[in-house]
Amino acid sequence: MKGVELKEGIYWVGAIDWEVRDFHGYETPRGTSYNNYLIVDEEPTLVDTVKYDFADLMIKNIKGIMNPRAIKHVIINHIENDHATGIDRIMNLAPGATIHVTERGRKGLERFYDISAWTVKTVKTGDRLKIGKRTILFLETPMLHWPDSMVSYVEEEKILFSQDAFGQHIASSARFDDEFVSSATAADLEDAVIDYYANILMPFGQLIKAKIAEVQKLGLDLQMIAPDHGVIWRADPEKILRMYLDMAEGKTGLSVAVIYDTMWHSTERMTQAIARGVKDGGLECKVLKLRATPMSVAVKEFWKARGTLIGSPTLNNIVFPTIAQFLTYLRGLRPKNRLVGAFGSLGWGGGAVKEIYETTKQMGLEAFEPGIDVLYKPTFEDEERCYEFGYGFAEEVKKYHGRF
Ligand code: FEO
């Protein structure tokens, strides 16, 4: 095993996690990869490590190229466990190496490891590391998506090692965007990018725009973007930059998602009538029952649609537990630029629809009101009201979409 060569002397030496389906609670139906990179130069340099379970694979890949003891520098772009928990194995093999990390990264590293025996150099934006014929430029990216985060740019080869940014949770034998697209489809890759962005980077749109502008101002030519998860962007790095800028600006499809749960099928019957109304109103509509849908998929579909209708039965005067969980997860992601409406069935007092509006308004989302409550079981007239509600929502979403 010797990894995969990106450019002459620069290798992917990471690991593919074909099995993971629960990534700290985030559903990963495609698995993922932990990418890290070895630059063979006068002073060999490792960029990031991998999750501890996969350290043996990383070390085998490195050994297929060179003796790890000769590694002179280890760059830690991000200290989260899936990337930095291979560091002690590397430092055992290459005790003379210098770790390069941001100040916040160093402080975080101290919480995970006893670093007293390691040589650690803190770096900041604009610092450069000369490793022989190559020079590595560091650029801090705080809160993208942890305080410690940074990216590293090889000036001669014009490769950006972007840590989590521009990644995707994909386990594939394809290491590059063009390889993946030839064995799957461009739509599969785009879906993986959106899924990752929605669940990890949604709160940071403004920071993303500012950081991409900073990169452009520095005049960095990004001929290859190598993230820490998924495929490396070598054929079309512009594509991922465009996608990120569009998502950061709140651009999305003109469509509707209906996300609901149900106890005795009443809210489900409302959903069916509403979905027909949305469709007849002229918009595609994706319907997701939460007990049958991973939370991360529901968030992705919320993000992909300009408008979402959330349906919940009232249980003990409040929303159904799965809807509460969805709203809590969504609140943390600080969504913007989406229109929301609510509906649901009730037995006596009600409360779910009101709570959905209150919660989504607290998030700053715009509301399509009034919502619809139905007592016990929808009558024919109730279903007609639901249909009209869906139709009206589609009309409103089209107008709302015109703002972006
Ligand atoms: Fe892939 Fe923020 O770790």
Q: Is 373 in the pocket of ligand 1 (CB under 6 A)?
A: no
What is the predicted pLDDT for the residue at 25? 86
The Cα 97–Cα 100 span in angstroms is 10
The two tokens of residue 103 are 């100040």
Q: How far apart are CA 366 and CA 364, in angstroms?
A: 7
Q: What is the pLDDT of residue 2?
A: 77
Q: Which of 325, 321, 83, 334 is nearest to 200 (CA)?
A: 334
Q: Which regions in the chain score pLDDT beneath 70?
A: none
pLDDT at position 268: 98
Task: Supply the pLDDT for residue 156.
Answer: 97
Regarding beta strands 253-260 and 305-311, do their DSSP bridges make them parallel or antiparallel, or are they unpaired? parallel
**Ligand 1 close to Cβ of residue 51 (< 6 A):** no
Report the pLDDT value the prediction gives residue 3, as an integer from 0 to 100.
87
Instruction: Give the pLDDT score at 163.
Output: 96
Please tell me which residue in 196, 244, 357, 387 is annotated as part of the active site. Answer: 196
Per-residue pLDDT, 404: 87
Could you tell me where the DSSP H helices lie in 10-168?
55-63, 81-84, 87-93, 103-112
Which CA distances in Å does 250 have to 143, 145, 216? 19, 18, 20
Q: From the CA of 81, give the closest atom in ligand 1.
A: 3
CA atoms within 13 A on the CB side of 391: 9
Q: Is 73 in the pocket of ligand 1 (CB under 6 A)?
A: no
- pLDDT at residue number 256: 98
**Cα 83 to middle of ligand 1, angstroms:** 7
Q: Which atom of ligand 1 is nearest to the CA of 163?
A: 1
Greatest CA separation for the chain = 77
CA 391 to chain centre: 32
